[in-house]
Structure formats: C-alpha cells, structure tokens
Amino acid sequence: MNRFDYIRPKNVAEAVAAASEPGSAYLAAGTNLLDLMKGGVSRPERLVDVTHLPGLDRIETLADGAMRIGALVKNSELAYDEAFSARFPAVAEALLSGASAQLRNAATVGGNLLQRTRCAYFYDTASACNKRAPGSGCDAIGGENHGHAVLGWSEHCIATHPSDFCVPLTALGAIVKIEGKDGRRDVPITDFYLLPGDTPDRENVLSPGEMIVGVRLPAEAAGFAANQRYLKVRERTSYAFAVVSAAAALRIEDGTIAEARLALGGVAARPWRAIEAEAALAGAPASRASFEKAAEAAFADARPSGDNAYKIALGKRIVTRALAMAASGTPEVMPALPASPFAPLSEGVIHV
Amino acid sequence: MNLTISLTINGEPRSIDLDDPRVTLLDLLRERLHLTGTKKGCDRGQCGACTILVDGQRINSCLALAVSHDGADIRTIEGLAENGQLHPVQEAFIAHDGFQCGYCTPGQIMSAVGLIAEGHAGDDPERVRELMSGNLCRCGAYRGITEAVLEAEAKLSERDRSAAA
Ligand SMILES: Cc1cc2nc3c(=O)[nH]c(=O)nc-3n(C[C@H](O)[C@H](O)[C@H](O)COP(=O)(O)OP(=O)(O)OC[C@H]3O[C@@H](n4cnc5c(N)ncnc54)[C@H](O)[C@@H]3O)c2cc1C
Ligand code: SF4
Ligand code: FES
Ligand code: FES
C-alpha cells in the first residue's frame, strides 16, 4: 500500500473541499478501497475519511412515504430496518445476499454504490486494463472472461458492476443524492453509472470532489412492496458475487400486471434496467408465458463478450423465475438463504 | 505524520500513537499490541479469521484502518473469558469439536458472538450457516461449528430470559 495523508473533515463542506484536491479519495468503511490499495490497484495520495461526518447515518421516512438513507448507513442496518424492509423487501434481500455478515456490518451505502468491478485483470497490476490504466488495453478480452458482461460492453472494457444492492435500487428508480463544490444535486441511479465506451475509467457522473450523501427511494416505489424479489446465482451458496442476478417488482391487479420493474446484475458495467421487458409485462397476465416473453425482451440485445454466452441463457431463466417469485408474493419473513436459488420455492413457482 | 487515537480494547481505555495511517486494526492488534489471538488469513476480507467486535458489531479487522476507528470499543478473543470462566460460545466450541487446527477459531468464535447478539438466526441451522458464511474453515469443521453456535445461542437466550424474569 502506498503512503497517503489522512484527513478527517468535520462536515460535508470540508470533506468536499479536501477531496477536490487531485489525488484524493473518500474513505468509507474501506472494505473495497483498502483491498484495492493493498493490491496497488488504487494509489490515492490522500484519504478523506467520511465515517465521522455528522448527519449521514439516518434512515428516514418522508411525509409522502419516500425514504431517505444517509450515505453512511451500514448495509446490515438498512437490511434489518423494519420500516425499510417492509417497503422495499427486495432491496433488503439483495443486501443480505451480498458479501458476509462482517462485511455488511462495516460496508456503507455510499461505498456499496461506488465499489469497483471484480474483473481479475483490473485487480492484477501486471495485466493490461483500460479501466485501471487508460489506453493500456484489455486483457479480459480473449482472456478468462466467463464472468464478464453480455450487455452494454465495448471493445475497450467488458467488466461488470458487482453490487447486489444497486440492482433493486435500479429497478425501483432510486435517486442518488450528491454534494459537491457547486452544491447539491439529485441523479436517478439509472443515469448515475456510465457505460464503458472508450473511457472505461469513467464509471459514473461524479465530478472530482463530489460525494454521495445519500439515496432516496421515491414514494411510488413502495407500491411494489407486495410483489418483489431479488434472485442471485452464485458459484457457491453464500459469500460470493453474482454470476447473474435479477430484481423483479410487480403491481398486480386482478391477475393482470399493472406495472413491472426489472433490473439485472452481473451482466453489464452498470446495474441494468430492462425497460423493454417492463413494457412487455405491462397489461399482461401474471403468467409464465408473460415472464418468458419479458426474459427474451430483457436479453434481446445481449451479446457474449467471450466465454460467457451461457449468461444469456442463464439470465433469461433467472428473470423468468424472479418474476414468478415476485408474482407469488413477497415472503412474510426473509428467507434463510436470501436471494438464493437453493431456497425453497413458494407454492406455484416452477423451476425454470 | 503522527496520529494519536483512543481505543477501548477489551474494556481497557488505551491511547495509541500511530506513526503511519496505513495500519489496519488487525496489524495494530497483532504487531503493536501483541494481541495475537486475532488471526490473519487472507488480509483481504475473504476468510473471516480476523473477525473482531467493534462497538459490538463483528467486522473484518484486516479491512479496517485503525486511524479511522478513533474512539471505538474493541473486543477480541482475549477479552471474552471473564474471571477465568470461558464464554459460553468458547465452551460450546470445545463441547462440539468446532475446530481441528484452530486457526480459524478465534474468528469463528467472535463471529458467533456477534451473530448471537444480532439475533437473526434463532435456532435455525440454515440461518446459522448462512450468517456464519463469512468465516471459512479449511479443516472443514463446519458441522461442529454450527452445533456449537446453536447450543450457545440457546444457552445465552435462556440466560437472557431468566435475567428478565
Ligand atoms: C470478500 C468480499 C466479498 C464481497 N461480496 C459482495 C457481494 O456478494 N455483493 C456485493 O454487492 N458486494 C460485495 N462485496 C463488496 C462490498 O459490498 C463493498 O466492499 C462495500 O459495499 C464497500 O463499502 P465501503 O463503505 O467499505 O466502501 P469503501 O471501500 O470505503 O469505498 C468504496 C469506494 O467508494 C468511494 N466512496 C465511499 N463512500 C463514498 C461517498 N459517500 N461519496 C463518494 N465516494 C465514496 C471510495 O472512495 C471508494 O472508491 C464484497 C467485498 C468483499 C471484500
Ligand atoms: S474488462 Fe475492463 S476492467 Fe477488466 S481488464 Fe478489461 S478494461 Fe480492465
Ligand atoms: S484476514 Fe481478514 S478476512 Fe481474511
Ligand atoms: S479449524 Fe482449521 S481452519 Fe478451521
């Protein structure tokens, strides 16, 4: 790990001023940043520690039913918050399917949104990687890439975004709250992440020094509470990143889908909102045929970026099953194995 | 850069001078305070050997900067036994053979203490396994570990019930 200066600002304005200096990085729990620094992948000259900032650790329900979550709220605290998980159960399920209990106790909301890709070449400083070293090339292309993207990738980078939390946030239209030198702004999470194009080092819309201060879930998103799930395929039962995942949320009226929300994880450089699939579901009966049609729509533009064509077939099954699980109702208690395909299925949901 | 932080470690308030902000809680405990009960497995958040309680919550000490935890209350495996009496989780690990080589054991035990305090597993072995999945055991003592956690959980919740009565 390189040497760095450590700065502990007293308020957000001081933090933003300090982090606007070139070479700075924000430090939250450090569960991703310290890992990257130990590997020499990130080499910030100064760390601006946000963990002692006041006022960013609250989970609030606003008058209209929206919820505001401070950037420093721990992943576990949010997942187990009763008011939150009652309104946004798939978000709680996604959080509990990520990492381990220890990591969730440390990891913050802001850090989770800004965690970096798990592409092994990005982690290996001896490899070419356009994200880590712009212009150096991409060793994942033609390399070990069974975990890489099938949507939205470019010939410069085929990495995926690893967060589980961000997938249902994307389905439910969360807003990222940002503060910088020029004040505050709100950005919908669907506009927050950038696709790689020819600048894979630019991962999101934050300008230097801008900080995430929180996330808001709009009131209308709570209208999906009765029918929403997160489903995540891993290479082992627990404590592993998603191979492919899906967050599905439905509003069902008399057996007909009034409105659907769908987002995919593990398939692109950003949590992927499947707008065409949502459109295909609106007004359709809540049936297996509708779910399969939506799954086709979700992956219509998918292309393998290497040895990962299987992700397209797998992704369609995961979408079909997540939609069927959502349609059969949000479980009353959190499953023992959150988001796991190994958890017992509720009645009426068939294996696909 | 010289940084002074205060920590309470196993009940004892300490003032600690750090000559380097790069020191993790794990290295601080092991290399500087000679509390070597907390183990280093991967040093990257992947194995759980370094699990300690910070303000009552289990975390991986290898991915936590000491300087950032100024003011924290820290409990390690050395601080579990009271007056020579093992903690119920320690006793249960012995009773159920929850280890073989013992390298992962301090992390497993601290994680189990954290899990029981969190109160989300109850008496469900599947929930215990899931919520202990952040602790790997290369000897594969998982069966004994799960049994030990379940027994300790039952004992501690019984103790809480009789304390409340
Ligand atoms: C072994 C292991 C397994 C994991 N498995 C999973 C998994 O299955 N699913 C999953 O989703 N995640 C997983 N994770 C990743 C974990 O969720 C992230 O490490 C964590 O959420 C990061 O949060 P943090 O507070 O530690 O952020 P940090 O590591 O402190 O920061 C991460 C990044 O965000 C920036 N940052 C932090 N806060 C702010 C802010 N408020 N404003 C602006 N920038 C900020 C930092 O500069 C840094 O670049 C795993 C991690 C490990 C180590
Ligand atoms: S896929 Fe992206 S992150 Fe991975 S090596 Fe290529 S450029 Fe780097
Ligand atoms: S040493 Fe910390 S998790 Fe492995
Ligand atoms: S007892 Fe040997 S690693 Fe767990």
Span A309-322, pLDDT tens digits:
999 999 999 999 99
Residue A2 clears pLDDT 70, i.e. is over it: yes
Show residues of chain A in contact with B21, CB under 8 Å. 4-6, 47
**Are residues B13 and B45 located together in one domain of the fold?**
yes
**Are residues B8 and B74 located together in one domain of the fold?**
yes
A238 contacts chain B (CB < 8 A): yes
Structural domain of B110? 88-164
Residues linked to residue A184 through DSSP beta bridges, in sequence order: A179
Identify the band that residue B1 occupies on the pLDDT scale cut at 50, 70 and 90. low
**Are residues B71 and B104 located together in one domain of the fold?**
no
Please report the pLDDT score of residue A239 as a whole number. 97
Residue A169 clears pLDDT 70, i.e. is over it: yes
Please report the pLDDT score of residue A349 as a whole number. 72
Residue A48 clears pLDDT 70, i.e. is over it: yes
Q: Choose among B3, B44, B114: nearest Cβ to A6.
A: B3
**Are residues B92 and B120 located together in one domain of the fold?**
yes
**Are residues B71 and B102 located together in one domain of the fold?**
no
CATH number of the domain at B103, please. Answer: 1.10.150.120
ipTM over 0.95: yes
Please report the pLDDT score of residue A345 as a whole number. 79
| Mean pLDDT estimate for chain B | 96
Look up residue B30 and give its DSSP letter: I
A123 contacts chain B (CB < 8 A): no
Q: Choose among A47, A100, A338: nearest Cβ to B134.
A: A100
Span B119-130, pLDDT tens digits:
999 999 999 999
Q: Are A6 and B21 a contacting pair at CB < 8 A?
A: yes
Neighbours of B70 (CB within 10 A): 18
Q: Are B64 and A30 a contacting pair at CB < 8 A?
A: yes
Instruction: Look up the pTM and report it.
Output: 0.98
Show residues of chain A in contact with B3, CB under 8 Å. 6
Q: Which of A191, A200, A103 is nearest to A148 (CA)?
A: A200
Closest approach atom of ligand 1 to CA A241: 8
Using a 6 Å cutoff on CB, does residue A290 contact ligand 1? no
Using a 6 Å cutoff on CB, does residue A159 contact ligand 2? yes
Please list, in sequence order, all residues whose beta carbon lies within 8 angstroms of the beta carbon of residue A222, skipping any fewer than 6 positions away: A65, A67, A87, A88
Residue A105 clears pLDDT 70, i.e. is over it: yes
**Are residues B71 and B15 located together in one domain of the fold?**
yes
Please report the pLDDT score of residue A348 as a whole number. 67
Q: How far apart are CA A275 and CA B90, in angstroms?
A: 52
Find the B129 Cα to ligand 2 centroid distance in Å.
Answer: 34
Domains present along chain A, CATH in parentheses: 5-52 (3.30.43.10), 224-328 (3.30.390.50)
**Are residues B93 and B112 located together in one domain of the fold?**
yes
Last residue of a domain, one of B79, B114, B131: B79
Residue B140 clears pLDDT 70, i.e. is over it: yes
Please report the pLDDT score of residue A179 as a whole number. 98
Using a 6 Å cutoff on CB, does residue B141 contact ligand 4? yes
CA A303 to the chain's CA centroid: 21
Please report the pLDDT score of residue A351 as a whole number. 63
Q: How far apart are CA A96 and CA A76, in angstroms?
A: 7
Please report the pLDDT score of residue B160 as a whole number. 84
Span A185-220, pLDDT tens digits:
999 999 999 999 999 999 999 999 999 999 999 999
CATH number of the domain at B22, please. Answer: 3.10.20.30
Identify the band that residue A346 occupies on the pLDDT scale cut at 50, 70 and 90. confident
Please report the pLDDT score of residue A344 as a whole number. 84
Residue A340 clears pLDDT 70, i.e. is over it: yes
Last residue of a domain, one of B34, B51, B79: B79
**Are residues B108 and B62 located together in one domain of the fold?**
no
Please report the pLDDT score of residue A350 as a whole number. 65
A106 contacts chain B (CB < 8 A): yes
Span B54-108, pLDDT tens digits:
999 999 999 999 999 999 999 999 999 999 999 999 999 999 999 999 999 999 9
DSSP assignment of A68-129: EEETT-BHHHHHH-HHHHHH-HHHHHHHHTSS-HHHHHH-BHHHHHTPPP--HHHH-TTS-B
State whether residue B79 is helix, strand or coil. Answer: helix
Identify the band that residue A95 occupies on the pLDDT scale cut at 50, 70 and 90. very high
Smallest CA–CA separation between B3 and chain A, in Å? Answer: 9
State whether residue B122 is helix, strand or coil. Answer: coil
Show residues of chain A in contact with B27, CB under 8 Å. none
Phi, psi angle pair for A298, to nearest 5°: -65, -35
Using CA positions, which residue lies closest to atom 4 of ligand 4? Answer: B137
Can you tell me the mean pLDDT for B146-150?
98
A351 contacts chain B (CB < 8 A): no
Q: How many structural domains does chain B have?
A: 2
Using a 6 Å cutoff on CB, does residue B95 contact ligand 4? no
Q: How far apart are CA A59 and CA B123, in angstroms?
A: 29
**Are residues B64 and B117 located together in one domain of the fold?**
no
**Are residues B66 and B102 located together in one domain of the fold?**
no
| Cα dihedral sign, A109-A314-A123-A204 | negative
Q: How far apart are CA B18 and CA B4, in angstroms?
A: 6
Can you tell me the mean pLDDT for A162-190?
98
| Cα dihedral sign, A103-A25-A37-A205 | positive
Pairing of strands B3-9, B73-75: parallel
- Check if the beta carbon of residue B111 is closer than 8 Å to that of residue B132: yes
Last residue of a domain, one of B79, B102, B118: B79
Identify the band that residue B162 occupies on the pLDDT scale cut at 50, 70 and 90. confident
* Chain position carrying tokens 């958890």: A343
Identify the band that residue B36 occupies on the pLDDT scale cut at 50, 70 and 90. very high
**H or E element, residue B144:** helix B142-164
Please report the pLDDT score of residue A352 as a whole number. 63
**Are residues B65 and B93 located together in one domain of the fold?**
no
**Are residues B155 and B94 located together in one domain of the fold?**
yes
| Mean pLDDT estimate for chain A | 97
Residue A268 clears pLDDT 90, i.e. is over it: yes
Ligand nearest to the CA of A213: 1
Identify the band that residue B156 occupies on the pLDDT scale cut at 50, 70 and 90. very high
What percent of chain A has pLDDT above 70?
99
Span A116-146, pLDDT tens digits:
999 999 999 999 999 999 999 999 999 999 9
Phi, psi angle pair for A188, to nearest 5°: -60, 140
